[in-house]
Amino acid sequence: MNATTQLHPDNQSDALRAWWMPFTHNRYFKAAPRMVKSAKGAYFTLEDGRRVFDCLSGLWCSPLGHSHPHIVEAVTRQIQTLDFAPSFQMGHQAAFDLATRITQLAGRPQDRVFFVNSGSEAVDTALKMAVAYHRARGDAARTRIIGRERGYHGVGMGGISVGGIAPNRKMFHPLMIQGVDHLPHTYNPAQMAFSVGQPEWGAHLADELERIVALHDASTIAAVIVEPMQGSTGVIVPPKGYLQKLRDICTKHGILLIFDEVITGFGRLGTPFGADFFGVQPDLTTFAKAVNNATVPLGGVLVRDAIYEAFMTGPAHMIEFFHGYTYSAHPLAVAAGLATLDVMAEENLIAKAAALAPVLEKGMHSLKGEPHVIDVRNIGLAAAIELAPTAGAPGMKAINVFQAALNEGQMVRFTGDIIAVAPPFISSAAEVEEMVEGIRRALRVVPV
Ligand code: PXG
Ligand code: PLP
């Protein structure tokens, strides 16, 4: 099948008709389905019986491996005790406990945590908090949000508005929030291709924020939202000094800084949060994914106490923030979260991720010089390789490498012509090295 084949709906089997799959080439997939049957530890078993290594920890979300016995036990116990509890005007202790644990892990024990069910909801929640915070303080003109090109902040209307991935935005312009501007992204292959870890070049790109502030005036800007490391667009690593500059400019102008840590939160860089890795603290942090090893959907926003306090005005019997989801702090998600943090601590898994990072770095950079490879990027336990696109068929090269890697027992992630990996923290060094060799063989079998 070549890239231009138009698959007729009749080619799709009835069994695969009804599910309109997310971020998937539906026709291509349904013509040649790739089905997962089960998972255990760092491996998936496919429908055809093959066992493959989970190179991206699910979708960046299962660093402890699948069906960790401690998490399975905690969720099983929870479903038998309290399967659901309303969290509008009622509470359950475990949710308060998990919020406390998250503030402790972040080293910000005074902070507050608002729970949601996904990264997209976390982002929309943080944007609403930022705008409402300024309004609560009598600074109602601060409504503008600054995102960044190539940023991924989920698929809510707020998230795509501040996001910078063009195909995620172009169909929806009339619905997107107004008053958004974007920083330039920091990727410049001429300056930084094959950088090991953080590129030396590019901190000056943060100065673009001063230009944007001068254009719109600080008095109209509520917040800046960036991923500390841009994961979804293919592991774009911030230049040295860049995030600190953003922090300083935000502080100078009274603008809130939001770190979207949906991927970097809970250990991916070998530190609890990306903020710890880069030594830069935001005002709000969005998280999801690894917070509970993705066992049950869960996300949230970690908020500076002063922001929470700004809402705590008016009569105490009134709702302070008109926002929340039916499943905010769902008991099963919370139980999985507490168990996940227990396992991370008991098995020292964040330190384990830090210890594996150099193995991944060395292995992935050894792919320089292999066919198709035009860049290798890495930070913490995450890496990507950029492939030279096939002429006239962008994206096809990565599909072919993905398929070849799967045949080698390695389930990588592809997006555009980029292959991304972020192995589970429970991986051994040998498994990470084997993953790299599987990718190498895959690169060599795909025709140039
Ligand atoms: N913010 C960031 C920084 C993300 O990476 C979201 C928000 C949205 O989270 P939800 O839970 O609504 O999907 C994300 C999600 C990939 C990939 O392969 C990345 C994401 C999701 C799925 C796949 O890079 N990021
Ligand atoms: N749509 C309708 C009709 C609803 O009643 C609700 C919640 O009660 C929602 C959407 C929002 O759902 P959720 O709280 O799960 O985000």
245 shares its domain with 322: yes
297 shares its domain with 203: yes
Q: Residue 2: what pLDDT? A: 46
419 shares its domain with 273: no
With respect to residue 12, please indicate whether it lies within any of the assigned structural domains: no
With respect to residue 129, please indicate whether it lies within any of the assigned structural domains: yes
Interacting residues of 41 by C-beta distance below 8 A, sequence separation 6+: 65, 66, 67, 424, 426
Asked if residue 326 has its Cβ within 6 Å of ligand 2, the reply is: yes
Domain boundary among 318, 346, 374: 346
Per DSSP, what are the bridge partners of residue 230?
Answer: 236
Residues in contact with ligand 1 (CB, 6 Å cut-off): 59-60, 118-120, 123, 152-154, 227, 231-232, 260, 262-263, 288, 413, 415
Chain segment 292-314, per-residue pLDDT in tens: 999 999 999 999 999 999 999 99
Mean pLDDT of 40-64: 98
Instruction: Give residue 125's identity as a one-letter amino acid code.
Output: T
Q: Token pair for residue 335?
A: 């139980």
With respect to residue 24, please indicate whether it lies within any of the assigned structural domains: no
Domain boundary among 346, 371, 401: 346
Q: Which atom of ligand 2 is nearest to the CA of 328?
A: 14
Q: Ligand 1 test: best mutation among 24, 124, 285, 289, most atoms within 8 Å of CB?
A: 289
Show the domain range for 419.
Answer: 34-64+348-445
Asked if residue 194 has its Cβ within 6 Å of ligand 2, the reply is: no
Q: How many CB atoms lie within 10 A of CB 8?
A: 9
Q: What CATH number corresponds to the domain at position 372?
A: 3.90.1150.10
Measure 326 CA to ligand 2 centroid, in angstroms.
7
Q: What CATH number corresponds to the domain at position 282?
A: 3.40.640.10
- 279: helix, strand or coil: coil
With respect to residue 6, please indicate whether it lies within any of the assigned structural domains: no
306 shares its domain with 353: no
The residue nearest atom 4 of ligand 2, judged by CA position, is 326
Q: What percent of the chain has pLDDT over 70?
A: 97
199 shares its domain with 321: yes
240 shares its domain with 207: yes
Instruction: Give residue 414's identity as a one-letter amino acid code.
Output: F
Chain segment 276-286, per-residue pLDDT in tens: 999 999 999 99
Phi, psi of 412 (to 5 degrees): -90, 180
Measure 445 CA to ligand 1 centroid, in angstroms.
30
Q: How many CB atoms lie within 10 A of CB 253?
A: 16
Q: Which atom of ligand 2 is nearest to the CA of 327?
A: 15
CB 398 within 8 A of CB 387: yes
**pTM, 2 dp:** 0.96
Phi, psi of 264 (to 5 degrees): -80, -15
Q: Which residue has the tokens 């949000």?
A: 145
Q: Residue 1: what pLDDT? A: 44
With respect to residue 18, please indicate whether it lies within any of the assigned structural domains: no
Measure 263 CA to ligand 1 centroid, in angstroms.
7
- Residue 4 in this model has a pLDDT that exceeds 50: no
379 shares its domain with 332: no
50 shares its domain with 134: no
182 shares its domain with 292: yes
Asked if residue 325 has its Cβ within 6 Å of ligand 2, the reply is: yes
Band of pLDDT at residue 13, cut at 50, 70 and 90: confident
Strand 112-116 vs strand 299-303: parallel, antiparallel, or unpaired? antiparallel
159 shares its domain with 207: yes
The residue nearest atom 6 of ligand 2, judged by CA position, is 326
Q: Residue 12: what pLDDT? A: 59
Domain boundary among 327, 346, 365: 346
Asked if residue 327 has its Cβ within 6 Å of ligand 2, the reply is: yes
Q: Residue 6: what pLDDT? A: 54
Number of domains in the chain: 2
Pinpoint the alpha helices (H) of 90-146.
93-105, 119-136
340 shares its domain with 356: no
With respect to residue 42, please indicate whether it lies within any of the assigned structural domains: yes
Per DSSP, what are the bridge partners of residue 146?
Answer: 181, 224
With respect to residue 21, please indicate whether it lies within any of the assigned structural domains: no
Higher pLDDT, 448 or 146: 146
Per DSSP, what are the bridge partners of residue 182?
Answer: 147
Q: Which residues of 196-213 are buried (b: 16+ CB within 10 A; e: fewer)?
A: eebbeebbebbebbeebb
CB 270 within 8 A of CB 246: no
With respect to residue 113, please indicate whether it lies within any of the assigned structural domains: yes
54 shares its domain with 135: no
